[in-house]
Structure 1
Amino acid sequence: MRATTQAALATTGALPLAEASQPGRLLSLDVFRGLTVMAMILVNNPGDWGHIYPPLEHAEWNGCTPTDLIFPFFLFIVGVSLVYALDGPKRRGAPRGPLLARVARRAALLFGLGLLTSLYPHFDFSTVRIMGVLQRIGLVFFGCSVIFLTTSWRTQLLVLGALLVGYAGLLQAVPVPGFGAANLAPATNLGAWLDRLVLTEPHLWKTSRTWDPEGLLGTLSALGTGLLGGLAAQWLRRPAPEPAAKVAWLFVAAGAAIVLGLIWNGWFPINKALWTSSYVLYAGGLAGAALAALYWLCDVQGYRRYAGPALDYGVNAITVFFLSAILSRTFGLFKLLGPQGDAAGLKEWLYEWGIAPWFADPRNASLAGALVLLLIWWGILHWMRRKSVVVKV
């Protein structure tokens, strides 16, 4: 990563404010990204993992909470961003080779940052988790970019349908070696079997070591989330119809995706860990509706007065995502004596001494801990944006 005053393209899609109003640039995209990253910081950093309000937790398996929408929203945003970054060169007929090379470099960097996050601070390669959030972002960015650069929107729509139907067929019809009939259980579905075969158990999600929520097979359906974002971006970039009509039809398409996802949920349940096809449509539809609303408010109506905090986060989204994980693990290296006489990491120590005693309900204390961290990062990111410091990936 390197600091730059230029717009961060493709993976972050960050745009400086001076360029936000130029034709073809979306202020609403930065706002949407910022709100999504703020939600991510909130749910990933509770003061106490044992006391969390239900909407701030993932669904235990099937189902969808607000927390389960954060990752697909970000992948949807990646799809929108890459279209705004690559559509101009594609229309001009720029050589495809250099564009694909640039895409590959950025995807590899994202994947590498994800591996670095998994390795830090002990760098134990024998048990490092190979897949993860940044790794999936990198793979989806690469796959969707290649599809966008080499196909038309009609073909992309067909690819989306093939991915969703094909993925459903794989999970629900193909027998699982060693387990028998196809199933959707956490450790015995086809995706979990593939992850254990290719990645091996020591390199899977440490909470289970038998399956990985960002596994290999689920990345196929995750491409569908990125493609939905790309299709929405291509619709918004059309010279016609008028903005009001664009927003209306985007709402219609988003609503249709939500309804289809809920219908499909009847026999292929909405499930984030499996990234099921119904989940792709449901979460992608909600993301499309959110983008349509923000596009109307920010880019069409010009309501930007209260967008500052979201823009601070949106401009340096990957930065705060990566550094928040690194700093959290760094604080864990420093052990201090907590109020109960037990050793605690620096972050936990600060929470137990400085925040928890002020609240009678431990859930409120836990939420307050997350909000304090959100405010601290906001201060840092606001300073960065005022100084025109954008970290480019």
Structure 2
Amino acid sequence: MQKERLLSLDVFRGFTILLMTIVNNPGSWAYIYPPLQHAEWHGCTPTDLVFPFFIFIMGTAIPFAMPVKHFDTAVFNKILVRSLRIFCLGLFLNFFSRIELFSLEGVPLLIVRLLITFAVAYALLGNFTLKIKTYLVFIIFGALLFLAYSGIPAFESVRIPGVLQRIGIVYFFASILYLTSNFKIQILIVTSILLIYWGLMALVPVPRFGDANFEKGTNLAGWLDNLLLNGHLWASSKTWDPEGILSTLPAIATAVLGIFVGQILNMPIAKLQIAKKMTLVGIGLVVLGLLWNIVFPINKALWTSSYAIYTAGIATLCLTILYYIIDVSYYKKWTKLFLFWGVNPMIVFFFSGIIPRALSAIKVENPIVSQEKINLQKFIYDYNIVPLFSDPLNASLCYALSYAVFWSIILWILYKYKLIFKV
């Protein structure tokens, strides 16, 4: 049984996915407006809010998706299968550009990759019976892990962690915690997770590096990533991962903070009272996060405890504003665009990552330099968008916005025909 969808929550999700699409797809990574960049290390920009917002929203949605608390083997299986499907969607993204077949290259190889992609997407997003879903996800999960550790050169350094992988893991633990504990136990567990993570990062000496620290590559979380996932980490660092193992713990806390807010939204009291409670919670979390920042800096890559609390507070306040406008004041006419984006998040997450990879695999003639080939994405940007602007920052942003418009059209069509894809 599912509770009726909360429009403000769908709109908030849609806004978050739309912002994610814009910040992940600039025309050039060399030209990005500061608010659309991640913080260099410590700190928090608007872009650093996107990922925790989505995890918070996922947590908020859990009490709506599971209004009756009931936990048994069948429920556990559903949660496990959904979590693995999300995990496998993210893991496959890391495999896409590494798929090889005999000596194929160029467009023929891309066609093979796309055929495999659609087969995997159908298996992980298709509406099958739970038994079939279970078989399919375990086959895909096992196959991907086998390839990653098989010694095959194409896959020997494929990245294991990722955004969707973390979302899948967090969903698994947050859902079980919600179904098997009461509000007080949840508060105790979240508090324990955040304090233990702080203690580990701030007090435990790091093997090979010395004292505990919060710096790139030399902190405890980075050391653990390199120890357990050596060779399968984020390509930009190769020694640590922004979606690593230890930093997933406070991400679970972010989801559970979302669950708290979801339970407030389900309280049998007046909507205005709900909005007031959420406002107080949001302000409290922001203040607590800023205070904790003094000794445990707000940092997305480490998902520090201060970052988890601070971003959950901002997410609560944003949702409160939307809830007041949409569900209390009933001002809904402007919400349609964000609703398109909010009801089909996994389609965007997955295929918005595939499309740039596919465009980069198609080579075309450089119209300026003879006998030189460039990828199709660079051709579209350099020779169709850049000439329209004198400022490269605006050209880069225009490309990102154009990609968002492209996806808005696709999502509008899916929404119009009531095609909603769920894992």
**TM-score, normalised with respect to structure 2:** 0.85
Q: Name the structure 2 match of 1:16.
A: none
Q: Name the structure 1 match of 2:30.
A: 50
**Deviation, structure 1 residue 340:** 4.8
Alignment pair present for 1:119 and 2:119: no
Alignment pair present for 1:217 and 2:246: yes
Q: Name the structure 2 match of 1:322.
A: 350
SS at match of 2:66: helix
Asked if the contact 1:339–1:352 (Cα under 8 Å) also holds between the matched residues in 2, the reply is no
Q: Name the structure 1 match of 2:261.
A: 232
Asked if the contact 2:159–2:235 (Cα under 8 Å) also holds between the matched residues in 1, the reply is yes
1:204 maps to which of 233, 241, 254:
233
**Deviation, structure 1 residue 276:** 0.2
1:99 maps to which of 52, 75, 85:
75
**Deviation, structure 1 residue 158:** 1.0
Q: Name the structure 1 match of 2:62.
A: 82
Q: Name the structure 1 match of 2:190.
A: 160
Map 1:263-282; keep pairs closer than 5 Å: 263-282=291-310
The 3 A distance-change label for structure 1 pair 50 and 343 is: farther
Separation in structure 2 between the aligned mates of residue 234 and residue 194 of structure 1, nearest angstrom: 35
Write the letter of the residue equivalent to 1:296. Y
Where in structure 2 are there 5+ consecutive unaligned residues?
A: 100-153
Report the count of equivalent residues: 367
Asked if the contact 2:204–2:212 (Cα under 8 Å) also holds between the matched residues in 1, the reply is yes
Separation in structure 2 between the aligned mates of residue 165 and residue 344 of structure 1, nearest angstrom: 50
Which aligned segments of 4 or more residues in structure 1 are displaced greater than 4 angstroms?
none
Moved more, 361-370 or 119-128: 119-128
Q: Name the structure 1 match of 2:44.
A: 64
Q: Name the structure 2 match of 1:293.
A: 321
- 1:239-278 deviations in Å (ceiling 9; x for gaps): 12x1111101101110010011111111100000000000
Asked if the contact 2:71–2:180 (Cα under 8 Å) also holds between the matched residues in 1, the reply is no
Separation in structure 2 between the aligned mates of residue 322 and residue 258 of structure 1, nearest angstrom: 31
Moved more, 303-312 or 338-347: 338-347
Separation in structure 1 between the aligned mates of residue 299 and residue 95 of structure 2, nearest angstrom: 28
**Deviation, structure 1 residue 87:** 2.4
Separation in structure 2 between the aligned mates of residue 337 and residue 261 of structure 1, nearest angstrom: 52
Separation in structure 1 between the aligned mates of residue 245 and residue 35 of structure 2, nearest angstrom: 27
- 1:34-85 deviations in Å (ceiling 9; x for gaps): 0000000000000111111011000000000000000000000110112211
Alignment pair present for 1:150 and 2:174: no
Q: Name the structure 1 match of 2:9.
A: 29
The 3 A distance-change label for structure 1 pair 173 and 360 is: same
Separation in structure 2 between the aligned mates of residue 83 and residue 99 of structure 1, nearest angstrom: 14
Separation in structure 2 between the aligned mates of residue 306 and residue 364 of structure 1, nearest angstrom: 26
**Deviation, structure 1 residue 95:** 4.7
Write the letter of the residue equivalent to 2:95. L
Write the letter of the residue equivalent to 2:317. A
Asked if the contact 1:24–1:237 (Cα under 8 Å) also holds between the matched residues in 2, the reply is no
Identity of aligned residues (%): 44
Q: Name the structure 2 match of 1:15.
A: none
SS at match of 2:374: strand
Q: CA RMSD in A?
A: 1.3
Separation in structure 2 between the aligned mates of residue 222 and residue 303 of structure 1, nearest angstrom: 33
Where in structure 1 are there 5+ consecutive unaligned residues?
A: 1-6, 10-22
